[in-house]
Amino acid sequence: MEILRQAGLVLRKDLLLEWRRRDSLLTMFFFGALLLFVFHFSFDIEPDRVAAMTPALLWLSFLFTGTLGLTQIFQPERENHCLDALLISPLDRGAFFLAKSGFNLLLMMVVEIVVIPLFWILFNLPSWNLLPQLFLVNLLGTMGFCVLGTIMSAITLRARARELLLPLVLFPLMIPVILATIRCMESIMRVGAIGDASPWLRLLIGFDVIFLTVGVLIFDWVIES
């Protein structure tokens, strides 16, 4: 429980910073919305193809906005040697990891809460009743993304061209999450329930659990002053 309390403290600090500056949230939100416009100009979605196209397009935009957020995630710690100070303090590194991935998850969820309905409006989709279910599946997918993304963001922290490097190492590892989330969403869009896609849902949950555990255990070594 101590680890959760510490994670809560760091998370609170990050949320407070974000609330005062609103850097990441605003850029991520506008980038997400901008992508929807770009998609709309690039594709004409016909009504019978909506179930097949929507999940993929939505996830592409989340993937890009999420990566944008991840490259910034350790920014507050980079300034004024704050990372060193945090590491000197008796803070559990696992808690630090939980806080950082939690922070990114919250940011992305806020973006998704706005972008998904916006997608429905822009593409004239009628199926508003499916949104809560879609949102839940997205939560699981986003969690996997944030967990693994936080680890990758931490190891690329000191690299040259890290903004370019991060998606390069992260995206291949994310393939199970991308496939599973899109398949679950497709099934929801088609039949209104997870239905046949339940193995995908289990895979998604498995991925989240595995890498959340690995992250907490490994972060001790990942982050060094």
Partner 1 sequence: MAAQAPVKKKRKGILGTLALVAILIGLYWSLIAAPPDAYQGEVQRIMYLHLPSILTAYLSYFLVFIGSGMYLWKREKRDDILAHSAAEIGVLFTALTIIEGSIWGRTTWGVWWTWDARLTLTAILLLIYVGYLMLRSLIEDEDRAAVAGAVLGIIGFLDIPLIHMSVYWWRTLHQPPSILRPDKAPWENVHPTMLTALVISFIGFLLLYFYLLSLRYGLGETRAQIRARRLEQES
DSSP category for residue 145? H
Which of 83, 138, 211, 212 binds partner 1 (CB under 8 A)? It is 211
Cβ partners under 8 Å of residue 126, min gap 6? none
Nearer to partner 1 among residue 23 and residue 220 (C-beta): 220
CB 155 within 8 A of CB 224: no
The least distance separating partner 1 from the CB of residue 97, rounded to whole angstroms, comes to 12
Q: Is 19 one of the binding residues for partner 1 (CB under 8 A)?
A: no
Span of 26-34, 56-64, 78-86, 174-182 interacting with partner 1 by CB under 8 A: 174-182
- If DSSP codes are grouped into helix, strand and coil, which group holds residue 21? helix
Return the structure tokens found at 193: 């329930």
Return the structure tokens found at 129: 């009743």
The least distance separating partner 1 from the CB of residue 175, rounded to whole angstroms, comes to 5
Q: Is 224 one of the binding residues for partner 1 (CB under 8 A)?
A: yes
> Contacts with partner 1: how many residues (CB under 8 A)?
33
Q: Is 159 one of the binding residues for partner 1 (CB under 8 A)?
A: yes
Nearer to partner 1 among residue 59 and residue 119 (C-beta): 59
DSSP category for residue 159? S
Residues in the chain: 225
The least distance separating partner 1 from the CB of residue 2, rounded to whole angstroms, comes to 24
d(CA 224, CA 219) in angstroms, rounded, equals 9
Q: Is 173 one of the binding residues for partner 1 (CB under 8 A)?
A: yes
The least distance separating partner 1 from the CB of residue 160, rounded to whole angstroms, comes to 5
CB 28 within 8 A of CB 111: yes
The least distance separating partner 1 from the CB of residue 153, rounded to whole angstroms, comes to 11
Which of 40, 162, 190, 205 binds partner 1 (CB under 8 A)? It is 162
Cβ partners under 8 Å of residue 185, min gap 6? 54, 55, 58, 59, 134, 137, 138
d(CA 31, CA 26) in angstroms, rounded, equals 8
Q: Is 74 one of the binding residues for partner 1 (CB under 8 A)?
A: no
d(CA 204, CA 48) in angstroms, rounded, equals 27
**Contact positions toward partner 1, by CB under 8 A?**
148, 151-152, 155-156, 158-162, 165, 168-169, 171-173, 175-176, 179-180, 183, 199-200, 203, 206-207, 210-211, 214, 218, 221-222, 224
